[in-house]
């Protein structure tokens, strides 16, 4: 299982992580604002199909590392991404639309399944507008999923901003052959 996201189709990327379980515990880190806020973004989710999602990305709440200048405002003030739940099957599947930061509407799906005493998390982000969006989103998911792994393993969270530029360039190289 690769740590890097893989391209499924134009505008879609998938990540897989084998995490400490059980499934219900990993689900809580997806569904509950306080737990989700330790690795991704806090915010209320109305956990039903058609329910609203709010993700307040304020990176200063998940890392002590200073951000690159171009991310300083997001780091300090945050930004809100909203959406609508399109699939909710606790504790195995959660999908929602993603509307934020001026990008076209996309869709995120988390699927959880038991695997050899652990939990396989499959994250798929679809309907990304172009190669630049896929590159940006992939680096972000890669960093955030690393923080989720650390939270679930009870480890000190790995670096966030210190990894950002390297991952962004690695995904740009991985996706270089994709059409614009």
User: Are residues 95 and 86 in contact, defined by beta-carbon separation less than 8 angstroms?
Assistant: yes
Instruction: Write the pLDDT tens digit of every residue in 70-96.
Output: 889 888 899 999 999 999 999 999 999
Q: How far apart are CA 66 and CA 127, in angstroms?
A: 31
Mean pLDDT of 10-27: 95
Query: What radius of gyration, in Å, describes the C-alpha atoms of the chain?
Result: 15
- Tell me what percent of the residues of the chain surpass a pLDDT of 70: 97
pLDDT at residue 101, as a whole number: 63
- pLDDT tens, residue by residue, 50-61: 999 999 999 999
Quote the CA–CA distance of 69 and 32 in Å, as a whole number: 30
- Segment 11-29 mean pLDDT: 96
157: which DSSP letter? P
- Quote the pLDDT of residue 1: 61
Gap between the Cα atoms of 80 and 127, Å rounded: 19
Predicted model pTM = 0.93
137 φ/ψ sector (left φ>0, alpha ψ -120 to 50, else beta): alpha
Q: What is the CA angle 147-15-136, rounded to 5?
A: 75
């Amino acid at each position: 299982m690769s740590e890097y996201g893989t391209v499924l189709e134009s505008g879609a990327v998938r990540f897989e992580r084998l995490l400490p379980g059980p499934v219900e515990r990993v689900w809580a880190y997806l569904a509950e604002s306080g737990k989700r806020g330790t690795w991704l973004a806090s915010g209320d989710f109305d956990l039903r199909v058609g329910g609203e999602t709010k993700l307040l990305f304020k990176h200063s709440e998940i890392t002590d590392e200073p951000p690159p200048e171009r991310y300083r405002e997001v780091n300090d003030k945050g930004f809100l991404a909203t959406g609508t739940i399109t699939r909710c099957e606790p504790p195995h599947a959660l999908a929602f639309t993603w509307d934020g930061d001026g990008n076209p509407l996309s869709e995120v799906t988390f699927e959880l399944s038991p695997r050899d005493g652990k939990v396989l998390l499959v994250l798929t982000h679809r309907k990304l507008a172009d190669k630049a969006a896929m590159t940006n989103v992939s680096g972000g998911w890669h960093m955030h999923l690393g923080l989720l792994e650390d939270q679930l393993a009870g480890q000190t969270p790995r670096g966030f901003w210190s990894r950002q530029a390297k991952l962004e360039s690695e995904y740009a190289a991985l996706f270089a052959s994709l059409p614009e």
